[in-house]
């Protein structure tokens, strides 16, 4: 059964670019490595050949999985999203009720999450806890270190 993945335009382009790189740069490189190792003689005792063949198998598996994701990818239409509540692609400023610290996150699909750039998955505990909330509402979210209460300070697109 195929799993539908949702992407922003940026995320979909990134996936396509990575797949293109694997197919047209990495694949030929591994093929050359296999040919060079094959030219060195007896394949039964050729560790370079075995390593290159294994790398080829792993690369082909990765390409296959990425193609499957791409075939089941759906682009998110940002114009159809309600800006009054937290949804995917919302940029949310939240305030920790316990210590008063504020954080800003953009909620994205799981495959685009990148905490360093402030993008968290809608499937993460915090992402799930914030979904559907409006400015001023509080969200009690269970995270690994316990229960935390956040207040929604601002929502933008």
Name the domain boundary from 75, 107, 132: 75
With a cut of 60, say whether residue 140 has pLDDT above it.
Answer: yes
Count of other CB atoms within 10 angstroms of residue 51: 13
Same domain, 87 and 138: yes
Name the domain boundary from 43, 75, 107: 75
Contact call for residues 122 and 84 (beta carbons, < 8 A): no
Same domain, 48 and 84: no
d(Cα 86, Cα 78) in Å, to the nearest integer? 13
Same domain, 51 and 83: no
How far lies 2's CA from each of 48, 130, 150, 154, 157, in Å?
36, 27, 35, 36, 30
Same domain, 92 and 61: no
Same domain, 148 and 83: yes
Same domain, 52 and 119: no
Read off the DSSP letter of residue 112: G
DSSP 9-35: HHHHHHHHHHHHHIIIIIHHHHHHHHH
Contact call for residues 107 and 86 (beta carbons, < 8 A): yes
Same domain, 60 and 13: yes
Same domain, 18 and 82: no
Catalogue the long-range contacts made by 115-122 (C-beta closer than 8 Å, 24 or more residues apart): 122/88
CATH at 85: 3.10.50.30
Q: What domain range includes position 56?
A: 5-75
CATH at 15: 1.10.287.180
Predicted confidence at residue 30, as pLDDT, reads: 94
pTM for the complete prediction? 0.66
Q: Which residue has the higher pLDDT, 22 or 82?
A: 22
With a cut of 70, say whether residue 144 has pLDDT above it.
Answer: yes
d(Cα 128, Cα 111) in Å, to the nearest integer? 15
Say which residues have a Cβ less than 8 Å from residue 3's Cβ, sequence separation at least 6: 72
- Which pLDDT tens digit goes with each residue over 118-137? 999 988 999 999 999 999 99
pLDDT range class, residue 40, cuts 50, 70, 90: confident
Same domain, 90 and 137: yes
Same domain, 69 and 87: no
Predicted confidence at residue 75, as pLDDT, reads: 83
Average confidence (pLDDT) over 79-91:
82
Number of folded domains that form the chain: 2
């Amino acid at each position: 059964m195929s799993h539908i993945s949702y992407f922003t335009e940026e995320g979909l382009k990134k996936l396509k670019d990575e797949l293109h790189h694997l197919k047209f740069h990495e694949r030929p490189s591994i093929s050359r490595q296999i040919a060079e190792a094959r030219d060195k003689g007896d394949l039964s005792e050729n560790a370079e050949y075995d390593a290159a063949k294994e790398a080829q198998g792993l690369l082909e598996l990765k390409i296959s999985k990425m193609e499957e994701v791409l075939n089941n990818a759906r682009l998110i239409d940002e114009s159809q999203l309600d800006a009054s509540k937290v949804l995917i692609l919302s940029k949310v400023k939240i305030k920790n009720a316990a210590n008063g610290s504020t954080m800003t996150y953009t909620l994205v699909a799981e495959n685009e999450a990148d905490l360093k750039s402030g993008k968290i998955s809608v499937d993460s505990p915090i992402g799930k806890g914030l979904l559907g909330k409006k400015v001023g509402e509080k969200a009690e979210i269970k995270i690994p270190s316990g229960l935390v209460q956040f207040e929604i300070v601002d929502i933008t697109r």
